[in-house]
Amino acid sequence: MPGPPGARASPPVGWVLWARPGSSYSPMCWRPWSSPASSCNSPSCPFADQHGARAAFTLSFLASSALYLLLVAACSPSLPGVALLFASRLPAALMHTLPAAQMVITDLTTPEERPAALGRLGLCFGIGVIVGSLLGGTLSSACGIQCPAIVAFVVNLLGAVLSFTCIPTSTKEASTQDQAAPPGGPKASVFDLKAITRLLLLPGVLPIFLVKVISGFPSGLFMVMFSIISMDFFQLEAAQSGYLMSFFGVLQMVIQGLVIGRLSSHFSEGALLRASVLVFSVVGLAMALMANIFHFCLLMPGLVFSLCALNVVTDSMLTKAVSASDTGTMLGLCASVQPLTRTLGPTLGGLLYRSFGVPVFGHVQFAVNFLVLLFLWRQPMPQKKDKVW
């Protein structure tokens, strides 16, 4: 219903849903589905390799500050809010804080310590997502829609200052896997697609990367459609969906931060990768038979374990397969998997859901991961010494 003449238009729908606690579109509801690496699919990951951790973190925090500043401006009645809202997405191409942190972890840990360290980093990320979402909802309810963006702007500026003053210029010298660049070779640019192709063609890289993409894609389709499935199939209210996703996020943090690290000290990465794909297949078969939200809650631990194990283990294996000078680029490639799923997922997932219903997601997940499991079983995987599969 239109307001009186001269009245300010309501905030954009997406903006309101973002800030409303319990909304199915709130970060509290959808962010736990994402992997820790999902925040970067841009050229700024090679930037971290070439210019060091300090420059990467500082640039990322400054880009985040610009994004939130544009969001604050979009709420002003005297400015073109819709145009600024779209413009606020442009700095996201340079927001790569988490992959930069993963690169630093990769540089500073031994191959044996890497899966556990990446898992603990994911635990910290999950805590920040849930606490930040709850705080953002509280601030927007108490102080207005602009308040969360203002606080985020200030915090990111503080992060930029701390990065510039406290983060070392580069962590590559401390890496235990540091390898010199080929003598006389040209220096790769941030946008060098040939360098990315070269990484994918290194021994052992392309098969693991394809496993990461193919195995996680069916569950990604389900995740993209979950806001609709929760209301249409499970008949959940928005607040109930929010509670469910918050529980999912907590479960993800516990498994990623505590369980994966312990398992990686007892089993090889190849065994964990096969286990994650096997559990994906079993969960997919059960998902095809589920009829209510209680059944989904029973499947949730297996689904979370598969997601966490697949992401952490493949990230670790891929960074070990490249030189230390290329770890940032490789983590950027890993991070591009989630945006790819979120780009193709709504169209493909919507067609599948409309034509076949919820069980089709389980059937697809079971079939795809069963084939991936057969492929992995035929591939030689490195084993930990003195460990039994």
Among residues of the chain, what percentage have pLDDT more than 70? Answer: 79
DSSP 146-167: THHHHHHHHHHHHHHHHHHHHS
3 state SS of 85: helix
53 neighbors 169 (Cβ within 8 angstroms): yes
Give the Cα separation of 47 and 56 in Å (integer). 7
pLDDT over 70 (residue 36): no
Does the structure show a pLDDT above 50 at 41? Answer: no
Q: Return the residue matching tokens 């930029």.
A: 160
Residue range 375-385: average pLDDT?
Answer: 69
Cβ burial of 347 (10 Å; 0-12, 13-18, 19+) is: exposed
CATH number of 13-171+193-377: 1.20.1250.20
Distance CA 387, CA 266 (A): 7
Q: What is the DSSP letter of 91?
A: G
In degrees and rounded to multiples of 5, residue 281 shows phi and psi of -65, -45
């073109």: which residue's tokens? 80
Q: Which residue did the predictor score with more confidence, 33 or 375?
A: 375
Give the pLDDT confidence score for residue 269 in this predicted structure.
Answer: 87
Q: Would you place residue 1 in the very low, low, confident or very high pLDDT band (cuts 50, 70, 90)?
A: very low
pLDDT for 381 equals 57
Confidence of residue 3 (pLDDT cuts 50, 70, 90): very low
Which pLDDT band, with edges at 50, 70 and 90, does 372 fall under? very high
The confidence score (pLDDT) of residue 46 equals: 61
Name the average pLDDT for the chain: 77
Residue 234, pLDDT > 70, answer yes
Reported confidence tier of residue 310, pLDDT bands at 50, 70, 90? very high
Please say if the pLDDT value at position 197 is more than 80.
yes
With 0.75 as the threshold, say if the pTM is over it: no
The number of CA neighbours under 13 Å toward the Cβ of 10 is 9
- List Cβ neighbours of 263 (8 Å cut-off, separation of 6 or more): 272, 309
What's the CA gap between 291 and 30, in Å, rounded?
A: 22
Residue 347: which residues within 8 A CB-CB, separation 6 or more?
none
Name which of 54-63, 334-343, 370-379 the model is least confident about. 334-343
- Which residue is listed with tokens 């697949």? 310
- pLDDT reported for residue 387: 41
Q: Which residues contact 39 (CB under 8 A, 6 or more apart)?
A: 95, 96, 97, 98, 99, 335
How would residue 105 be classed by pLDDT, with cut points 50, 70 and 90? confident
- All structural domains of the chain with their residue ranges: 13-171+193-377
> Which range is most confident: 120-129, 308-317, 362-371?
362-371
Kindly report which listed range (107-116, 180-189, 225-234) carries the lowest average pLDDT score: 180-189
pLDDT surpasses 50 at 359? yes
For residue 264, what pLDDT is reported?
Answer: 84
Give the pLDDT band (50/70/90) at residue 13. very low
Query: pLDDT band for position 192 (50/70/90)?
Result: low
Percent of the chain with pLDDT over 90: 24
Between 121 and 16, name the one with better pLDDT.
121
- In the predicted model, is pLDDT for residue 18 greater than 50? no
Average pLDDT over residues 52-56: 79
Q: Are 15 and 148 in contact (CB under 8 A)?
A: no
DSSP 236-298: --HHHHHHHHHHHHHHHHHIIIIIHHHHHTTS-HHHHHHHHHHHHHHHHHHHTT--SHHHHHH
**pLDDT for the residue numbered 88:** 83
- CA dist 84 and 92 (Å) reads 14
The pLDDT value recorded for residue 49 is 63
Nearest Cα to Cα of residue 27 among 144, 132, 122, 155: 132
